Amino acid sequence: MTDPDDNPIFEPRAVRRAVAIAAGLNFGYFWVQVVVALAIGSVALFADSVDFLEDTAVNLLIFVALGWPLARRALAGRVMAAIILVPSVAAAWMAFVRAQNPEPPDVLSLVVTAGGAMLVNAICALVLSRIRAHGGSLTAAAFLSARNDVLVNLTIIAMAFVTAWTASGWPDIVLGIVILVLNATAAKEVWEVATEERLAAKALADEEIDDD
């Protein structure tokens, strides 16, 4: 796998600049979503707000760990795979709580907030797509998360219209489960990439020993 430090076009500082932008955008919109989600009692928005906080952590970790050796980056990738599961757990818990009293959240707030989130995530995905192959599991984690977030935001908007039609809170609860599945899938993909890096690091270590 290509090491970002050896790439003449995508230098480490370019990768760090990209993830710094993504981290800032995610952290800023986290506060918007968490306030709205708690105000209207939306499972989907709550899960997505936690996901914004998770994306902030992932991108900040990339910023710090990019210069690490391959083996340590692989370990960081596995850590991020676990971090990606955090919003899934949060969504599952809130879905359980809301299922006891499935009142519908405010539709207009859902559409407006999810629309803003989609814009933020689309910008992050665009920025990160340019460096996704130049940081191994680190940048792969960030890009996969941003990509999945755009899909989640589109689903939230669609769910808002279903909520208006049914006057039920169940569409919002079901979407919380969908977010759980999406994040679990992303975590699995990142874990697999990190495992490949770990094997590559072992292979390189063996080669160095043999050369001696």
CA dihedral 56, 61, 62, 66 (to 10 degrees): 160
> Residue 105's closest CA among 158, 45, 61?
45
Cα separation, 82 vs 145, whole angstroms = 12
Within 10 A of 13 (CB to CB), how many other CB atoms are there? 10
| Structure token digits, residue 72 | 């340590």
Question: pLDDT value at position 5?
Answer: 42
Outline where 12-136 has alpha helix (H): 12-40, 43-65, 70-84, 86-99, 107-129
By three-state DSSP, how is residue 189 classified? helix
pLDDT tens-digit readout, 160-196 = 999 999 999 999 998 888 877 777 776 677 677 767 7
- Look at the chain and count its residues: 212
| Cα angle: 87, vertex 124, 134; to 5 degrees | 100
The DSSP call for residue 175 is H
């990160």: which residue's tokens?
128
Amino acid at residue number 81: A
Q: Average pLDDT, stretch 60-72?
A: 75
Whether 9 shows a pLDDT value over 50: the answer reads no
Question: Model confidence over 71-111: pLDDT tens digits?
Answer: 777 777 777 777 777 777 777 888 888 888 888 999 999 99
Distances (CA, A) of 12 to 25, 162, 165, 208: 20, 45, 49, 25
For 111-148, the pLDDT digits (tens) are 999 999 999 999 999 999 888 766 566 677 778 878 88
Q: How sure is the predictor about 2, in pLDDT bands with cuts at 50, 70 and 90?
A: very low
Q: Can you give the residue range of the structural domain that contains 16?
A: 4-211
Number of domains in the chain: 1
Mean pLDDT of 4-24: 73
